[in-house]
Structure 1
Amino acid sequence: MDPEYPHDPETEVQGRLHRLTTTKMFRDTSWTMLTEVAGMVSQLITLVLIGRAFDKETYGIFAGTVAFMNVISPFTTVGMGYVLVQRIAGERGDPDIESGRAWTTVVLGGLVGVSFVLATCSLIVPQVSIRVLLALALGELVFSQITYTGRFCAQALDRPANGAQVVATVWALRLLAAIVYLIATPDPTLAGWSYFHMTASFVGAMLTVFALNRVLHLRPRVGLARAHDIRRGLGFSLTIGASYLKNDADKTLLLTFAKPEAAGLYSLAYRVITPLYVPVRALADSTFARFFREGNQSATDTYRLARRTTFIGGGLTLAGGIATMACAPLLPWLLGEKWEPAVVATQWLAFVPFLVALQMYAFNALIGLGRQKECLFVTVGASVLNIGLNLVLIPRYTWKGSTAATITAEMISIAALWVLLRREVHRAPSGEHLRTI
């Protein structure tokens, strides 16, 4: 018992709450969540505007194409964001040198990714024109990745709120682009929107570099990542890429199976539940570097941090899922009667963020402990299962099959990651095995 509050249980609870709310983790999470909320509001308003402007089929083509780029983006970045955090937060590397290497590698990798998209488009997304693909690919694989790498820079320097502010600003720019485009264009097209989307992403990338220079005093030195950093990054990129494959491949598969309307419904429902990820990501951002620091010291402490953060993130997303199910019938009022079928899709997906919260912090803990291979094994296995189920279920059940596949894969991931993390605690509580990182 705290000697300052020796007898009064109520006062003791108040004291513990006071200590909790004055911790750095609480402050970082709160500020990160506020900026995440601001960015999410921008995303939702953009969703309403674009959802009202386009029919289900056009929206499905757009969402399925962006999902395809999300799947390959971890490979184009070669995991440089995660290497950046490990190099700066875990190994005390020079921020200017490491950020410069990361940004240069991400840009070059993004250009390779653009070439890959253009080369494979006829097989994956045959409904999309080359001009639209080029604009979306530059926006998602080059300019947006500059912004996301900037967010990793802020996390590595223990300033996660600043990183979230940068990303929220980019989403605000995309909202502004949507407003300007819809005002200026009486008959909006996918091509026109893709150009405005790319322009907003480009401006956001430039603002990211400028803002981190002013706020964090970063002066990146241009240079390529070293060979051993790329090898290490490939482990991260394979793991995260498999995770993205599990999360986004279903949208692209719906499009590939010539079901753009179902892809539109499913993708819009996913967009609606996106705000539920705000507390999960905010807490993950504010503790990500800490998982590396704890991982270098003790597997037991890392496990405790994962358990504590999972309890918080899971509770928030569970409450959010219940609220989303209750509010889903409002969608046709916001987006138009054409989106009436999206109500059921949203209710089916409402608890997916809860399932993600139950695994995210165990995943981060294993990454911090240097167990990328184990994370990769679990994520690839879940992704293969998800894709296999989608291939079987989509032709008959369309988006309902995708939902069932997603929930099944997420539940298996939860069980596997926590089993692996518990094994680490029993095997090496002292953390001596981490010297092989």
Structure 2
Amino acid sequence: MRRHTAVLLAGQIGRIALQGLYFVVLARTLGAAHYGASAAVLALVSMLLPFSSLGTILLLVRNVAQQPATAAVQWANCVTLVLVSGTTLAVLLALAGRWVAPAATSVAVIAAVGITDLVLARVTEAAGAVFHAQEHMHWSALVPVLLQAARLLGLAALVLGPWTVDLTSWAVSYAVSTALVCLALTVLVLRRLGWSPPQLARYRQEWRTGLLFSVGMASTTVYNDVDKAMLGRFATLEATGIYSAAYRVVDMSYAPVRSLLGAASPAMWRAGADGSVTAVAAVARARLLRPAAAYCLLGTVGMFGAADLVPALLGDSFTESVPALRALSFLLIVKGCHYVIGDTLTCAGAQGARTVVQVAVAVLNVGLCLLLIPTHGWQGAVLVSLVCDGLLAVGLGAILAHRLRRERSRPAPTTVDYAGTTAAS
């Protein structure tokens, strides 16, 4: 566990460093307004991401962790469904762009970002999921680093070259760099697993679980990203850039907890093979609770104290990101709570209950955004994020506590020993 966590954390640190540099260069190059437009488009696309794979990436991790021999088939099914579903969603988003994207954002930009994130990046993520399920954590950690490195090189070529840096040229560099990594990793996975035709009959047997995964992840992206999309539509692009910059810092700061969850997930899936919440919670408590809690507390204090550095890194147009980051820094603690609890429920086969809470919070989030963002801008978005993530943590915690009490209250099964006496097993 320590070795896997260290490997994944090293990968996350590398990804964060590259992503942070990409973020700084892009924000300084485009300015708050144009950066806000790019953030709004990315937020729109991210809300469709869970449905671009129809839950097959998480199914791949679960099934390969429990049945390693199915890896080639799981990979083939996942890629097939991503190509079909992701392409369809990208086309639909491009057609609807004039009504949902920020004004004056071209269809070409929306289409390029849509194909990149809904198809190319998802195939890349599926490749990483194969390595993760097989507990080849060094490869799993390397995949996001390669992706961010390629994107940074593409942006550097754009900034240093003779091209005009605008939303269109950025979208092209974003797509081309992601495509190169996707192609390389696809070849690598095929060489490791061999070729297998898709067997979609397998997916038909578990599509309901895949749908629950998709809806749950969609709810997560709604309450993570709908505020940015609505800021771009109902407020100013400057407000979108200010809020998105602060939120990006919080998201990058969450990476170590993401590494802990990733390292523990194969063991948690195995512990929950028979649906025991108690067994999964024991793994989470032993491997996640203390380090995650300690990091979230320290990270919150660090972000709150270092918020004044944001304008120095991104430029004077991001001055108002300082109070936004200080308020959002408390999200790190809340996110740590609800992701650890939520993943415990998921690995124990309680994804349905988790999804119900996530959907309810997502609906509340949209309603509050519609109420507060048009009148209060990024301040309203900050308040909505804190309230909704807090309610999510409380709701999931209540479900976990209820399920643990229910399992502990069940009578222990009995067995008969060789002498004919009955004993609790």
Q: Same fold (TM over 0.5)?
A: yes
Shift of 1:30: 0.4
> In structure 2, how many angstroms separate the alpha carbons of the residues matched to 1:431 and 1:362?
22
Unaligned 5+ residue runs, structure 2? 412-425
8 A Cα contact 1:81 1:149, kept in partner: yes
8 A Cα contact 1:310 1:357, kept in partner: no
Query: Deviations 1:9-67 (Å, cap 9, x if unpaired)?
Result: xxxxxxxxxxxxxxxx1100000000110011001111111111112111111001101
Query: Deviations 1:348-387 (Å, cap 9, x if unpaired)?
Result: 1112122111111211111111111101111011111111
Aligned match of 2:48: 72
8 A Cα contact 1:268 1:342, kept in partner: yes
Aligned match of 1:20: none
For the pair 1:267 / 2:244, whether they are aligned, the reply is yes
Give the letter aligned to residue 379 of structure 2: K
Aligned match of 1:435: none
Give the letter aligned to residue 43 of structure 1: Q
- Does the C-alpha gap of structure 1 residues 93 and 368 become closer, same or farther in structure 2, counting only changes over 3 Å? farther
For the pair 1:145 / 2:122, whether they are aligned, the reply is yes
For the pair 1:223 / 2:205, whether they are aligned, the reply is no
What secondary structure does 1:188 align onto?
coil
What secondary structure does 2:48 align onto?
helix
Query: Deviations 1:194-244 (Å, cap 9, x if unpaired)?
Result: 000000111111122234456xx2224242533223332111101111111
Out of 262, 265, 279, the residue aligned to residue 301 of structure 1 is 279
Aligned match of 1:21: none
Structure 1 runs of 4+ off > 6 angstroms? Answer: none
8 A Cα contact 1:151 1:160, kept in partner: no
8 A Cα contact 1:42 1:171, kept in partner: yes
Out of 59, 62, 73, the residue aligned to residue 38 of structure 2 is 62
Query: Deviations 1:74-97 (Å, cap 9, x if unpaired)?
Result: 012101111112221134551111
| 1:277-292 map, 5 Å | 277-292=254-269
Give the letter aligned to residue 381 of structure 2: S
> In structure 1, how many angstroms separate the alpha carbons of the residues matched to 2:44 and 2:197?
29
Shift of 1:285: 0.9
For the pair 1:400 / 2:375, whether they are aligned, the reply is no
| 1:170-249 map, 5 Å | 170-185=147-162, 187-213=164-190, 217-223=192-198, 225=200, 226-249=203-226
Aligned match of 2:57: 81
8 A Cα contact 2:264 2:284, kept in partner: no
**Bigger mean CA offset, 246-255 vs 201-210:** 201-210
Aligned match of 1:337: 316
Aligned match of 1:11: none
For the pair 1:375 / 2:354, whether they are aligned, the reply is yes
- Does the C-alpha gap of structure 1 residues 71 and 431 become closer, same or farther in structure 2, counting only changes over 3 Å? farther
Shift of 1:407: 0.8
For the pair 1:255 / 2:204, whether they are aligned, the reply is no
8 A Cα contact 2:277 2:345, kept in partner: no
What secondary structure does 1:296 align onto?
coil
Aligned match of 1:98: 74
Aligned match of 1:348: 327
8 A Cα contact 2:113 2:174, kept in partner: yes
Give the letter aligned to residue 110 of structure 2: L
8 A Cα contact 2:357 2:396, kept in partner: yes
8 A Cα contact 1:239 1:379, kept in partner: yes
For the pair 1:31 / 2:7, whether they are aligned, the reply is yes
Aligned match of 2:416: none
Aligned match of 2:395: 416
Give the letter aligned to residue 423 of structure 1: H
Aligned match of 1:50: 26
8 A Cα contact 2:235 2:374, kept in partner: no
- Does the C-alpha gap of structure 1 residues 347 and 150 become closer, same or farther in structure 2, counting only changes over 3 Å? same
> In structure 1, how many angstroms separate the alpha carbons of the residues matched to 2:278 and 2:51?
32
> In structure 1, how many angstroms separate the alpha carbons of the residues matched to 2:348 and 2:248?
32
8 A Cα contact 1:310 1:358, kept in partner: no
For the pair 1:161 / 2:138, whether they are aligned, the reply is yes
> In structure 2, how many angstroms separate the alpha carbons of the residues matched to 1:176 and 1:430?
57
- Does the C-alpha gap of structure 1 residues 289 and 176 become closer, same or farther in structure 2, counting only changes over 3 Å? same
Out of 300, 303, 321, the residue aligned to residue 324 of structure 1 is 303
8 A Cα contact 2:59 2:210, kept in partner: yes
> In structure 1, how many angstroms separate the alpha carbons of the residues matched to 2:84 and 2:374?
38
> TM-score normalized by structure 1?
0.89
For the pair 1:426 / 2:402, whether they are aligned, the reply is no
> In structure 2, how many angstroms separate the alpha carbons of the residues matched to 1:163 and 1:307?
24
Identity of aligned residues (%): 25
Aligned match of 2:111: 134
Shift of 1:429: 5.3
Shift of 1:175: 0.7
> In structure 2, how many angstroms separate the alpha carbons of the residues matched to 1:375 and 1:152?
22
For the pair 1:114 / 2:102, whether they are aligned, the reply is no
> In structure 1, how many angstroms separate the alpha carbons of the residues matched to 2:410 and 2:9?
31
What secondary structure does 1:61 align onto?
helix
8 A Cα contact 1:87 1:93, kept in partner: no
What secondary structure does 2:47 align onto?
helix
> In structure 2, how many angstroms separate the alpha carbons of the residues matched to 1:158 and 1:88?
10
> In structure 2, how many angstroms separate the alpha carbons of the residues matched to 1:101 and 1:208?
16
> In structure 1, how many angstroms separate the alpha carbons of the residues matched to 2:330 and 2:193?
39
RMSD over equivalenced CA pairs, Å: 1.9
Unaligned 5+ residue runs, structure 1? 1-24, 433-437
> In structure 2, how many angstroms separate the alpha carbons of the residues matched to 1:93 and 1:229?
18
Q: Report how many residues are paired.
A: 406
> In structure 1, how many angstroms separate the alpha carbons of the residues matched to 2:111 and 2:365?
28
